[in-house]
Copies of this chain bind each other. A is one copy, B any other.
Amino acid sequence: MNKIISFDNVNGILTCEAGCVLENLSTFVENEGFIMPLDLGAKGSCHIGGNISTNAGGLRFIRYGSLHGNVLGLEVVLADGTILDMLTTLRKDNTGYDLKHLFIGSEGSLGVVTKISVLTPAKLSSTNVAFLSCNDYTSCQKLLLAARRSLGEILSAFEFMDHHCIDLAMQHLEGVQNPLPASPYKFYVLVETTGSDESSDKTKLEAFLLRSMEDGLVADGVIAQDISQASNFWRIREGISEASVKVGAVYKYDLSITVEKLYDIVEEMRCRLGDNAEVLGYGHLGDGNLHLNIVSSKYDDNILAQIEPFVYEWTSAQRGSISAEHGLGLMKAEKIHYSKSPEAVQLMASIKKLLDPKSILNPYKVLPQSVL
């Protein structure tokens, strides 16, 4: 199940089997002058079928959007053994209901994805990365808006980290240096651009940085001068999860909240926990996606009781999502009500019963047992 079936190199449409490893697909399409529309830390081991079943997000989401927009066709095996052939390679097809979306993000509970066709964007030649610091969260938000305005079509990442993340990364990640060591700042932002014109892209990023400093949004900032410096910037952002684990115990939450309120939960959590644990806030700010990691030397039921169900109740009250990109799985199936209305959960259960009446596909996951 790991074969590439075809590649249309005029339109950048890849058709392959579900067992292909994401990184192998990336390498294949890059040789043809295209890139995969998603990129994840786990790319070396994750399968494209799993990416689709879990509606994986990742680092290119702000630029290329969700798999619901990029997947063109699927072949799926249903619970009764029927092979559902929806494997078109068309960008547009308005004949009947677009069934493939039912299988994107349903965690294998409605059918098993076996083949995929996906749109791959053209590979662009120029990438630039800047590492910036802000004195407060309001500045981070304003900086995001300014980046959308002035970097426009070349913006390809806007990641933020609070200083707790940076401190932890510096302490626990080998060979990593703080690009802005001069003084401690409250927030750090990684901005990446990807475009087709090296000199104009760099000029644009430099002008953006200069203007943001003049406007007082950015306290300090540096643009990577080579690939190794750019890798160091990304290593900090991508290493926060790894650094968290080294402390001992980590309670991880993956929340979607409107950008305006996104940092409030981090501060509230810090007040609740006091000295009992350290609270880290970081994530894909451009997508309104907060990774909230709470770290302590060892697991402690009292800490967990301070966090849950508070974190879910708070997110629910903001109409946020308690799982932005990680899915519900076994651990959060019973928590779906925090993010979905009873009517929606009921309809999901009806669809599950229609497609898998004996509940043989990934049982106990995604939906609460009470509705099945």
Contacts and interface: CB of A to CB of B under 8 A. Distances in A.
A150 interface: yes
Interface stretch (A97-105, A223-231, A302-310): A97-105
B196 A150 contact: yes
A152 B83 contact: no
A57 B85 CA distance: 24
Nearest to A335: B95
Interface string A46-68: 00000000110100010001101
B344 A85 contact: yes
Interface stretch (A244-252, A274-282, A317-325): A317-325
Give the number of times this chain occurs in the complex, counting copies.
Answer: 2
Given A10-B144, A90-B321, A152-B122, A68 B344 contact: no
A66 B91 CA distance: 9
A141 B11 CA distance: 10
Contacts of A327: 94-95
26 contacts: A8-B258, A10-B144, A11-B288, A54-B94, A55-B94, A61-B91, A61-B92, A65-B65, A65-B69, A68-B69, A68-B101, A69-B70, A84-B347, A90-B321, A91-B287, A92-B284, A94-B323, A94-B326, A95-B332, A95-B336, A97-B348, A97-B351, A98-B104, A124-B152, A150-B196, A153-B154
Contact of A96 (B69, B84, B92, B340): B340
Given A11-B258, A354-B354, A88 B343 contact: no
A359 interface: no
Nearest to A148: B122
Interface string A123-140: 010000000000000000
Interface of A: 8-12, 33, 54-55, 57, 61, 65-66, 68-70, 82-86, 88-99, 101-102, 104-106, 110, 122, 124, 141, 144-145, 148-154, 194-197, 200, 204, 256-260, 284, 287-289, 319-328, 332, 336, 338-341, 343-345, 347-348, 350-351, 354-355, 366-367
A37 B319 CA distance: 24
Contacts of A351: 97, 99, 351, 354
A85 B151 contact: no
Contacts of A33: 149
Contacts of A101: 68, 98, 101-102
Given A11-B259, A33-B149, A354-B354, A96 B66 contact: no
